[in-house]
A = this chain, B = another copy of it.
Amino acid sequence: MEPAVLQFIELLAVIAAATFGVLLARRKGMDFVGVFSVACMTAFGGGTLRDLFLDRHPLFWIQHEHYPLIVFGLAAVTSLARRIPKLVERALYVPDALGLGLFSVVGTGYALESGTSWFIACLLGTITGTFGGVIGDVVCNEVPSLFRSAPLYATCSFLGCWVYLLLRSVVPQQILAISVGIVLIVLFRLAALYWNIRLPEFSPADVDDRRGP
């Protein structure tokens, strides 16, 4: 069902996403409980939303029970380090991009199998790939970085999901469509990081500033 290479990518991706959570929680001055909790949210948040929205049970981190254990170990090991070098974060960009690709494409596939429309399937794929970070940011009391002008992330996922869906409907080999989708998302994401490609952001000053009547 799941080739070994995809399982290996998934493992890398969980570790990368969890490590981003560890870094985020440490920046906020949390203790171990916070570090482990935020790491779980960044690693499992997107997939949990997808599973709840599509009514898929057991949730993937309940089924793959070793993932929370791995995140626990990661939080414990990193706790021993007084300082995490900046280099670690940069080294995570590649596994994180792989995870973005894998989770987006797999999430899109799950959604389609549940009978959603193509547009909804791509939305749910993108949510799977990106909303762990949104939940982590919200819980850490920050405006989600996904929603601000930064190198393209959700956009890479969303466009790659469409390519995957188109391929899936024309080529008979599932694994080919999945692979091309993932590779495209990874390349697009790394290109966005390298050339610093961003969407424009709205200037708050351009909006009238009070909500009330």
Contacts and interface: CB of A to CB of B under 8 A. Distances in A.
Contact of A147 (B38, B48, B212): B38
A33 interface: yes
B211 A37 contact: no
B29 A117 contact: no
A57 B54 CA distance: 8
Interface size for chain A: under 10, 10 to 19, 20 to 34, or 35 or more residues?
35 or more
A93 to B, nearest CB: 7
A89 interface: yes
A154 interface: yes
Interface stretch (A4-12, A99-107, A168-176, A202-210): A202-210
Contact of A204 (B28, B61, B65, B90): B28
A145 interface: yes
Contact of A62 (B25, B26, B34, B120): B120
B65 A120 contact: yes
A166 interface: no
A37 B147 contact: yes
Interface in A54-75: 54-55, 57-59, 61-62, 65, 68-69, 72
Given A55-B57, A62-B116, A143 B144 contact: no
Given A34-B148, A72-B119, 13 more contacts: A25-B202, A27-B204, A27-B207, A30-B201, A30-B202, A31-B200, A34-B144, A48-B53, A52-B52, A58-B114, A61-B120, A65-B117, A90-B213
